[in-house]
Structure 1
Amino acid sequence: MSSNNADLSIPIVERSGAVLMEIGRRVPAFAQGLHLQSTGQLDPARQVFLQLTERPELTAPALHQLGVIAAYQGDNLRAAGLFEHAQRLEPNEPLYYCSLGTVFERMGDIPRAVATMINLAVMVQTQGKHEDAIPLYRRILHLSPLNYSAWVNMGTGLAWMGQAREAVVPLMIGVILFGRILPEARDLTERLLVDLGDRLPELTAALAVLPDGLPEGRLERLEEVLQTLDKALRSAGFIKATASSLSVALRLAPGNALARWNHSLSCLAKGDYAQGWADYEWRWVWDQFPEPRRILAAPQWRGEDLTAKRIYVWGEQGFGDIIQFAPLAQILADRYSPAEIVLEVSSPLVRILGTALDRPGLRVVSRPDNPHKFGIEEGFDYHVPLLSLPHFLSLRVPDLPLLPGWLKLPDAEVARGASLLPAKVEGRRRIGVVWAGRPQHSEDARRSLPLALLGSVLDAIPDADWISLQVGPRAGDALAFKGRLHDMSPHLKDFIDTAAVIANLDHVVAVDTGVGHLAGSMGTPVSLLLAHAVDWRWEIGTTHSPWYPNHRIHRQQTLGDWAGVIAELKAEHVQAEAAAGMEVAPARAGRRKVTRSSRGIDVHRLAHEAPSCSGVGASGERRIFSS
């Protein structure tokens, strides 16, 4: 065993060895001991390190080096005691754990070697250094291939690092090992393997060499492992497999808010709105939900009769969420007329929604700075979060789209938008583009794409005028396509400005952002570009959305495959250009005729049927959407 424990080619160990060299740089006597040791002069080196143990700041590293000398001379038991002593003095130094684990391994005490390495890996992972923990877990699994903790913790680390597909394999193996003891887990893994089929050959290969036998180490918190597995499966695009893992997690821990919230997303993605909306309410119980639960001076509405009452509906989450669900405020007003509805939204949405929803009994106000106050100084009978309305209005997929083309602009706004654009050229389509969302969004790195990738689409459709609707930090990307992509960002101060421009476009190309919802609500054709792991509202594998009949969805087939998405998009627009015959009539989305889908919402039903808080329709049936 060398001074820097080179037996283990693990980055964290190598960096820890550098700590010894740094001590030697500051303390000449320590450097002398390291030199004597490295040249085989072990007895003089031992004397130097023994003297250095008298200095409190050097006791632990000196004891470690005494342990290295003892191990080199074959006294592994003494070496282990010295390493343990150093570890107690400085419990956060990884080198001592690695040296102790190595000497246990040499002694043939594999359980203690593994336990020591597990403690180190967990310590490192708790500090958020997942990239350092992964090689440690691989080392542990080399010694103990049935170690449950190593498998699940490695999977958790990979998930934190954004390597969702890679994370599924160790997490699945952890659950499979648990299933050798718990029948529920065994049944679950059998279902998951069927759901995954041959889409994950890495798992098949790993299972082929997994030894028989019971799992080793501590078995605990299977419900938390299943939640992490669900997240990894969803992020890797294995949506159909997610609900199974969460159903078992909820049986093991029925009050777990995160599992219930994740279960809601899985159900909604599959079109099971009855269960999905009911479980969606658990977002307020999950302590890490990014939207604060508001304490307002009125009871929360849960489906009570609102006739002649006043209710405060407050928007939550992102701009796209508010635009998507804003029509429910109108439906609420229609059902309970003459109720008074006040809809609170983020300030960039006030003008656009105030214009589109301008009708008796419905007002739009801006979100206050204090989340625990109403946006206006008036009293209310009830309040309700906007995204709770689907549950209490018993919204189901057959009710979609909500109110097609509901977001209309006055002629003056459409004319204003036209004045902001370059002059219309007869026979040329106008196509708006948005390639990035808000950087603050937790999934923005995945949902946004480099603008450079869209260059091939711009090249393929030279007889179109491309209009950048991008705002925020990424708006400057448009400079790379100066002359081909007209930058509108200086004119887009809020969403009504963007809508005024969209009203004069023939088409919009957008990633999963608020602009996609805005254009969809206006009835403008949209090419929606989706990452592999998608939000629940775009369902699983479909090319069209029940929310927006005018959307054409292009989604990654594998994680990060924007090139495939761009190829599909280019083909779509080349075909559209050919079909148009270069004679496209000027668009007027503010007055666009929208064909009602056969699945369009039954406004009469939602407006007049008795309220239901049970999460099922009025007849009690469970209606599952199938595209």
Structure 2
Amino acid sequence: MIASLNQPVAELVAKGIALHQRGDLASAEQCYIQIMAREPQNADALHLLGVLKGQQGDHSNGMRLIDEAISLKPRMAAYHNNLGNLLAKSGDTAAAEKSYRRALRVDPQNGEAHLNLGKLQFERGDREARRSLKTAQRLSARSVEAQMSVGRLEEREGNAQLALNCYVTATKLNPSFAPSFIAAGNAQLLLDKTHEAEESYRIAIRLDPESPDAHFNLANVLRADGRVLEAIELYRIALDFSPKGASDIQNNLGLALSELGQHQEAKTALTKSIEITGDSSDGWFNLAKQAVLLGDLTAAEGHLLKVLSLNPGHAAAHLELGNLTRADGRLEEALATYRKVIELSPSDAAGWNNLGATLTDLERIDEAEAAFRKATSLDPKSDEAFFNLGKHLSIYGDESAAIEALEQALTLNPKNAAAYTQLGFIAQNRGQLSEAADFYRQSLTISLDSSIARHNLGLVQSSLGDPEGLDLLEATVREQPDSAEYRWNFGEKLLLHQQFHEGWKEYEWRKQVDKFVDQHRAFDQPLWDGSPLEGKTILLYAEQGQGDTLQFARYAELVAQRGGRVILQVQRSLQTLLQGVPGVAECIAQGDPLPEFATCAPLMSLPYIFDTNAATIPPPSSSFAERFASSTQLKPTLQVGIVWAGNKNDKRDRLRSTTLSQWSELATIEGIEFTSLQTGEPAQQANEQGNNFSFVADCNNVKDFADTAAIIAGLDLVITVDTAVAHLAGTMGKPVWILLYDPLDWRWGLEGEQSPWYPTARLFRQFNRQDWSPVFERVASSLRALVDTSRSMSENYVSLE
């Protein structure tokens, strides 16, 4: 646009400014050049052309022109201010600050100069920024940029509400300025005003449909609210309007895709994020977590090591690395890594929690408990920490404290299915089966696919006599057919319900259960399958407890009938007793050298090999009754032996064992002489004050079960809790009353007083779990009746004389 040669310079200046303000820089430049052609020393034209050159990116010529204008009019604040702007853009902030300060010396009320100085100070973290920006806000109350700058200052200093006030003012000053709505949304998020933030971002998008920031921030809000699909769409729109494919947008897109389970697509987005930013420790960290979800643990570990090479103080990366090495069984490495987490961040509850889990793996029990307690103290709202503490205590410590911790976990998170399951374990171990079932059902309402909760519910229900429990067990076995634990449990409950054919088959899985593996040595000789032996030597070896050996030793005779020469290997305490078992050619103790043999079988597999059912259970060997036969002479008093406690190392012992004081009513029955068959630490209860029993004999001097059998031979009756003595007396054909706790051991069946394993046994069952009182009442009543019968028989015998 060519101006008239006669047009006054003042008009040309006004015209140039108008063109400049409209953004027509080319036409404005021509006006300024014409002015300078007519008046080379026109300071305004020089100044305005310098500003224009700066806008075109020609900072050097822009600064030169403004410098020339200043030399002509040094008292023009606007000149100094704009020179400062060009100096700042060129990176010379020190010179820019001097120019702004010169502008303010010329005009202390210049709000724009205060604003520009404040923005410079803000960028470098100078405390003077507040005074400059607040002055600019006061002097230029209608300046959107002044309001925005003060808002950014307040936001950085943690004053979110003050920041929001500034941003809202900016939106009112210019309702069409999208960045002010974006800034308001950010402040609203800091104040947890999520819905208001969402609305602010949506307004920003309406004002500027191509704003990547508005789309990105709205996507973050929606993703946090669980609207992940909408968020993903917005992230992709933001990428379309971000020429360089912003790293943070790709990163958050990857995280959102991961939340939807689209892990491969997530990996692609996260990889692009890293490619954009280069070596970003947080980017590599997110990629590592994605690799874990994809199951590529090797890559995940490599990514984490990359994170730590970039940022050795990245506590979260140390934490994840610890998780990986712990899962890989490298416990000492995991332990060191978690300790590094705590060193970097002493208040990191997750670090303490995972440290406790690793210490538990290493069986450093007390240290583990201390770590879990530290985690709960650091994060009293962590249901995971309270759960781990409760689980730990339930296994190694105080069950009451465990219950308290687990209940706290549920208070914090009522959806913590694992806490309900663990409470079920505790109730189950205590014999509180109905309560355990309720806990497992609650767990399953939260986590329908929890195999362990369904399996344990099956165990509990089947122990309560409910056939549906077997259905649950069968279902979990179908889901995990290679779980030895599940199949062994299923076998035991099938046997409890006297479904022997399938029960013995499933019971064979016990040989792969961790706690039994060491009892089944890998012999070079093959396991016997029941085929004819044709004179071959076979080793039958004991497993589990002494009572189990006594129960199944009867099968040796059946094995011998298949044509085999039987070597019986048993616990040393049973060797002398079992030497005379029919069919046994040689009885050796565990730990002694083994003779040559051609095949072998564990004793407890023989019922499976012989397909035993309730009708075909072989009777106890008659040789015991013959070997330990006692006089048939009637005695004036009934001779009764008692056992009140079992092995305290058995996890069921607190359920099956009693104290001698609970037997006190029996001691008051006249016509009985009691013998203590109790061994071990519980035998000391016989010496405690207040004990009503006066034993005529005891087992203090017995060396093994042969000695115990000799004592039992002289008795009329044995009364015992479920211990090896019950099996010994039953095997000897001696009348034996067995006091059974509930839940029941599989071999005693669900109901009835008789046992197909021991014809001379009478079973006294608990009907009220963990309550022995009714049991002893029935025992006392039966014992009185037996004394009366015995006395009557004795009198009749005497009268016949």
TM-score of the pair, normalised by structure 2: 0.50
How far the C-alpha of 1:168 sits from its partner, in A, is 2.3
Q: What is the deviation of 1:452?
A: 1.1
Residue type of the alignment partner of 1:328: Y
Question: CA 1:142–1:525 in 2, change beyond 3 Å: closer, same or farther?
Answer: same
Distance 2:624 2:541 in 1: 19
Counterpart contact for 1:428–1:584, Cα < 8 Å: no
Distance 1:97 1:367, change over 3 A: same
Structure 2 counterpart of 1:319, one-letter code? Q
In 2 relative to 1, CA 125–76 (structure 1 residues): closer, same or farther, beyond 3 Å? farther
Q: Does residue 87 of structure 1 match 2:349?
A: yes
Residue 354 of structure 1: which of 579, 583, 586 is its match? Answer: 579
CA shift, 1:239, in A, is 6.2
Alignment of 1:224-373 (within 5 A): 224-233=452-461, 237=464, 240=467, 242-289=469-516, 291-334=518-561, 336-337=562-563, 339-357=564-582, 362-369=584-591
Counterpart amino acid of residue 225 in structure 1: A
Secondary structure at the aligned position of 1:453 is classed as helix
| Residue in 2 that maps onto 1:193 | none
* Residue type of the alignment partner of 1:121: F
For residues 204-219 of structure 1, the aligned pairs below 5 Å read none
> Equivalent residue of 1:397, what SS?
coil
Paired AA for residue 365 in structure 1? C
> Contact 1:430 / 1:467 at 8 angstroms: preserved in 2?
yes
Aligned counterparts of 2:635 and 2:505: Cα–Cα separation in 1: 51
Measured after TM superposition, the shift of residue 366 of structure 1 is: 2.4
Whether 2:642 is the aligned partner of 1:433: answer yes
1:242 and 1:535 map into 2 onto residues whose CA distance is 16
Kindly indicate whether the alpha-carbon contact (under 8 Å) linking 1:118 and 1:150 is maintained by their aligned counterparts in 2: no
- 1:458 is aligned to 2:667: yes
Report Cα offsets for 1:314-353 as digits up to 9, x if no partner: 111111111111110011112x23x211111111211111
What pairs up with 1:441-452 in 2 under 5 angstroms?
A: 441-452=650-661
Q: Quick check: 1:531 aligned with 2:797? A: no
Distance 1:177 1:464, change over 3 A: same
Query: Is 1:395 aligned to 2:617, yes or no?
Result: no
3-state SS of 2:793 partner: coil
Whether the 8 Å contact between 1:312 and 1:383 is mirrored in structure 2 is yes
Q: Give the deviation of 1:226 after TM superposition.
A: 2.5
Please identify runs of 4+ aligned residues in structure 1 that moved more than 6 A.
Answer: 75-79
- Per-residue deviation at 1:583? 3.2
Aligned 8 A contact 1:404 1:521 in 2: yes
In structure 2, the CA distance between the partners of 1:119 and 1:468, relative to structure 1 (3 Å rule), is closer
Contact 2:423 2:436 in 1 (8 A): yes
How far, CA to CA, are the matches of 2:559 and 2:657 in structure 1?
34
Q: Paired residue for 2:417, among 138, 148, 152?
A: 148
Distance 1:294 1:90 in 2: 40
| Native 8 Å contact 2:621 2:731 kept in 1 | yes
Deviations along 1:465-496, whole A, 9 cap, x unmatched? 11111222222222355773223213422111
Whole-angstrom CA distance in 2 between matches of 1:400 and 1:277: 13
Q: How far 1:172 sits from its partner (Å)?
A: 1.6
Aligned to 1:378: 595
Amino acid at match of 2:749: E
AA partner of residue 547 (structure 1): W
- 1:89 deviates by 6.5
Distance 1:586 1:449 in 2: 37
CA distance in 2, matches of 1:488, 1:389: 35
CA contact (8 A) 2:488 2:507 kept: yes
**1:538 and 1:545 in contact (8 A); partners too:** yes
For 1:27-42, what aligned pairs fall within 5 Å after superposition? none
Tell me if structure 1 keeps the 8 A contact 2:678–2:698: yes
Greater RCO, 1 or 2 (C-alpha within 8 Å, sep 6+):
1
Are residue 121 (structure 1) and residue 390 (structure 2) matched?
no
Mark the runs of 5 or more structure 1 residues left unpaired by the alignment.
1-69, 103-115, 180-219, 370-374, 419-423, 588-627
Q: Which amino acid aligns with 1:488?
A: D
Report if the CA contact (8 A) 1:316-1:385 is conserved: yes
Could you say what secondary structure the match of 1:298 adopts? Answer: coil
Worse-superposed segment, 479-488 or 164-173: 479-488
For residues 680 and 780 of structure 2, what CA distance do their matches in structure 1 show? 26
The counterpart of 1:471, out of the listed 679, 683, 694, is 679
- Helix, strand or coil: the match of 1:255? coil
Match of 1:495 among 705, 710, 719: 705
- Structure 1 residues 140 and 307: alpha-carbon distance in aligned structure 2, compared to 1, 3 A threshold: same
Conserved? CA contact 1:84–1:96, under 8 Å: no
Counterpart Cα distance in 1 of 2:405 and 2:650: 32
Contact persistence 1:118–1:137 (CA under 8 A): no
Instruction: Measure, in 2, the Cα distance between the counterparts of 1:93 and 1:547.
Output: 48
2:566 match: secondary structure = strand
Q: Is 1:168 the equivalent of 2:430?
A: no
Q: Which residue of 2 aligns with 1:484?
A: 694
1:68-91 Cα distance to aligned partner (Å, 9 max, x none): xx9xxxx99799xxx996436655
Change over 3 Å in CA distance of 1:585–1:333 after alignment to 2: farther
User: For this pair of structures, how many residues does the alignment match?
Assistant: 439
Note the residue ranges of structure 2 that are not aligned, 5 or more in a row. 1-158, 160-187, 193-344, 354-370
Q: CA distance change for structure 1 residues 288 and 230 in 2, over 3 Å: closer, same or farther?
A: farther
- Pick which of 449-458 and 91-100 moved more: 91-100
Which of 432, 448, 451 matches 1:223? 451
1:434 Cα offset (Å): 1.3
Distance 1:431 1:158, change over 3 A: closer
TM-score, normalized by length of structure 1?
0.63
In 2: Cα distance, 1:266 partner to 1:386 partner = 20
Secondary structure in 2 matching 1:288: helix
Deviation of the 1:553 alpha carbon: 0.5
Amino acid aligned to 2:659: P
Q: Match of 2:737, SS?
A: strand
> Percent identity, aligned pairs only?
26
Structure 2 CA distance for aligned equivalents of residues 294 and 140 of structure 1: 43
CA distance in 1, matches of 2:642, 2:466: 28
- Separation in structure 1 between the aligned mates of residue 710 and residue 349 of structure 2, nearest angstrom: 66
1:483-527 CA-to-partner distances (Å, cap 9, x unmatched) read: 732232134221111212222211111111111111111111111
CA distance in 1, matches of 2:682, 2:189: 59
Q: Secondary structure at the match of 1:540?
A: coil
CA contact (8 A) 2:350 2:375 kept: no
Instruction: Find the aligned partners of 2:351 and 2:444 in 1 and give their Cα distance.
Output: 37
* 1:118 maps to amino acid: E
Looking at structure 2, the residues matched to 348 and 470 of structure 1 have their Cα atoms a distance apart, in angstroms, of: 15
Letter aligned with residue 686 of structure 2: A
Where does 1:499-514 land on structure 2 (aligned, <5 Å)? Answer: 499-514=709-724
Q: Hey, what's the Cα distance between the residues in 1 that align with 2:495 and 2:414?
A: 37
Q: Deviations over 1:547-570 (max 9, x none)?
A: 111111101112211111101101
1:559 maps to which of 762, 769, 781: 769
Question: Which structure's CA Rg is the greater one?
Answer: 2
Distance in structure 1 (CA, Å) of the matches to 2:545 and 2:795: 34
Residue type of the alignment partner of 1:392: I
- Distance 1:445-1:85 versus aligned 2 partners, 3 A rule: closer
Task: Identify which range, 136-145 or 512-521, moves more after superposition.
Answer: 136-145
